[in-house]
Structure 1
Amino acid sequence: MTGILDGRVAVVTGAGGGLGRAHALELARHGARVVVNDIGTSLGGEGTSAGPAAETVELIHAAGGEAVADGADVTDPAAVRRTIAAAVDTFGGLDILVNNAGFVRDRMLVNTGEDEWDAVVTVHLKGHYATMRYASEYWRAESKAGRQRAARIVNTTSGAGLQGSIGQAAYSAAKAGIATLTVVAAAEFGRYGITVNAIAPAARTRMTEGPFAARMAAPADGFDAMHPGNVSPVVAWLASVDAGDVTGRVIEVEGGCVCVEEGWRHGPRLDLGRRWHAAETGAKLRGLLAQAVAPEPVYGA
């Protein structure tokens, strides 16, 4: 296994299956040594199992690569800190963090329980925070010691976080937070040699088999546009030394299509040079809205 990631060390969260497994295999195929993180939970976040991470490690070993399994819960900062330390102790350093772990508990907002909201937001948003927090701490120390690494973080947002998705309010909110977190982290971490980008993948996984089953179905023949492995080459390149000039970007990947998202941008504006009056706001604001680009429709609307 040789390629654009020769000699680099990666931690991939949620790598026991789906997109995470595809990413781990692709990184290893290009020469990275991989810490395969997964607690083996269900689609809804219940239970744990060491099996999925071990299976990914076995696949990497069978292909001639190097990998170890890690069962840390990404929502537990202390456990995550040990994962970062384990990567350094096992492979001599850390260069790449791919954040992919997560689960869904789909529910209309009016029916969403507080426990369901907390569980989904915690695993996605806090899970990204915790890994980024302790990986960046390691890279900052390396930079200050004169050993700055070509560090790369690749986060996972979603079309649900960019356009919204009916029945996935908690998931959409968490994924939107990840997109903004990516932009902020990119601005803060650049001085330490760290780039931070996010992908918004569309692929066939446990999360999409339910709400988007028809769209995600594998074709009888021809190009399987929804195979999770289609997303991973973009992740591998973003994790490479060559990608050092790309940071703070959100990139959507679906099949053979790659799209650079443009995010929130300032649109039409009107400055009255004084306080606005409520009675005049309707007409003036409607004028601005008429000039603005219409938002893309929410998924499922």
Structure 2
Amino acid sequence: MTSPTALCAGRVVAVTGAGRGLGRAHALAFAAEGANVVVNDLGVGLDGSKAGSGPAQRVVQEIRAAGGEAVAHGGDIATADGAASLVATALDSFGRLDTLVNNAGFLRDRTLVNLDEDDWDAVIRVHLKGHFLPLKYAAAHWRAEAKAGRVPEARVINTSSGAGLLGSVGQGNYSAAKAGIVGLTLVAAAEMGRYGVQVNAIAPAARTRMTEETFPETMAAPGEGVFDAMAPENVSPLVVWLGSAACAGVTGRVFEAEGGRITVMEGWRPGPTADRGARWNPAEAGETVAELLAASGPPRPVYGTR
């Protein structure tokens, strides 16, 4: 199971939403690099409804069959008890926690005028609250370790989306949650760096249950080798590196990952500016804004408007 590099040998990694898709790919990739893995999955459907149990245990069995070590965690990480028990499972099973990968989520897509309050709350809860609570309890553990003189080489990888960076038509709830995850990542990186914790985010594009209609499976003729650019396994090498001690000094950054491409996202930066040193009147403000917009680059289009 372990690769020749064994980049994460001896590390303990918790991955949320790891029963399928990207989370499963991450869990298997960490195990292949020598990590002990806590595989979290609540076992729900694409929209968060109950859909049976067992995906986390199946991934654990895959890892163990390949010679790795893993345990399943079936708690709801968008609750305080579930998030705290995720950290406790790592400590009880393997004696430590080194890396947290926040990945769990689901979709309830509607245009804004058709979006019910329950659909808004459910998506914000699983994505944004489901990032905050595991991060909170993991960070509290690492802070305590650092104050006890055992400064960790701790890593957190959060999962945003192109929808969170640019917006996506029909996904107001999902886009808002994923944008919030970027803000949470920046704050956590700034607050926790003194305790040996690095926090980064990825915006992946891959085929999962949430995107299988957008990214259909690549078909190859018999005997032909085809690079499947949308396979979730393409994203995991970056996540494994960010979750390892090898990425020392990299924190508070957002990366797009798709196929064989990795992009450092640069976020909001000041563009053209005008300062008159006094209050504008509305007409003057409008004229100035028009001049500033003419001097600036066009925004990238929202997904679904191209």
SS at match of 1:21: helix
* Matches of 1:228 and 1:54, distance apart in 2: 20
Residue 57 (1) aligns with residue 60 (2): yes
* Matches of 2:294 and 2:265, distance apart in 1: 23
Q: Aligned Cα RMSD in Å?
A: 1.0
User: Which of 29, 35, 38 is the equivalent residue of 1:35?
Assistant: 38
Contact 2:77-2:86 within 8 A present in 1 as well: no
**How far 1:50 moved relative to its partner?**
2.9
The corresponding residue for 2:219 is: 219
Residue 122 (1) aligns with residue 125 (2): yes
The corresponding residue for 1:25 is: 28
* Matches of 1:246 and 1:51, distance apart in 2: 35
User: Which of 269, 282, 295 is the equivalent residue of 2:299?
Assistant: 295
The corresponding residue for 1:253 is: 257
User: Which of 206, 230, 237 is the equivalent residue of 1:233?
Assistant: 237
The corresponding residue for 2:191 is: 188
SS at match of 2:210: helix
For structure 1, which runs of at least 5 residues remain unmatched after alignment?
A: none
**How far 1:69 moved relative to its partner?**
0.3
Residue 94 (1) aligns with residue 97 (2): yes
Contact 1:182-1:196 within 8 A present in 2 as well: yes
For structure 2, which runs of at least 5 residues remain unmatched after alignment?
A: none
SS at match of 1:208: coil
* Matches of 1:62 and 1:154, distance apart in 2: 26
User: Which of 120, 125, 135 is the equivalent residue of 1:132?
Assistant: 135
* Matches of 2:40 and 2:101, distance apart in 1: 10
> In percent, how many aligned pairs have the same letter?
59
* Matches of 2:250 and 2:134, distance apart in 1: 20
- Write the deviation string for residues 216-259 of structure 1: whole angstroms up to 9, x where unpaired: 43232510000000000000000110101100010000000111
Q: 1:271 to 1:216 in 2, by over 3 A?
A: farther
Residue 206 (1) aligns with residue 221 (2): no
**How far 1:51 moved relative to its partner?**
0.9
Residue 280 (1) aligns with residue 287 (2): no
- Write the deviation string for residues 81-132 of structure 1: whole angstroms up to 9, x where unpaired: 1210121111010000000000000110110000000000110000000010
* Matches of 2:281 and 2:99, distance apart in 1: 52
- Greater shift, 131-140 or 285-294, is seen at 285-294
The corresponding residue for 2:272 is: 268
* Matches of 2:242 and 2:107, distance apart in 1: 26
**How far 1:48 moved relative to its partner?**
5.0
- Greater shift, 5-14 or 268-277, is seen at 268-277
Residue 14 (1) aligns with residue 7 (2): no
The corresponding residue for 2:7 is: 4
Name the amino acid aligned to 1:260.
Answer: V
Name the amino acid aligned to 1:227.
Answer: A
Name the amino acid aligned to 1:9.
Answer: V
Q: How many residues align?
A: 298
SS at match of 1:286: helix
Contact 1:198-1:249 within 8 A present in 2 as well: yes
* TM-score with structure 1 setting the length: 0.97
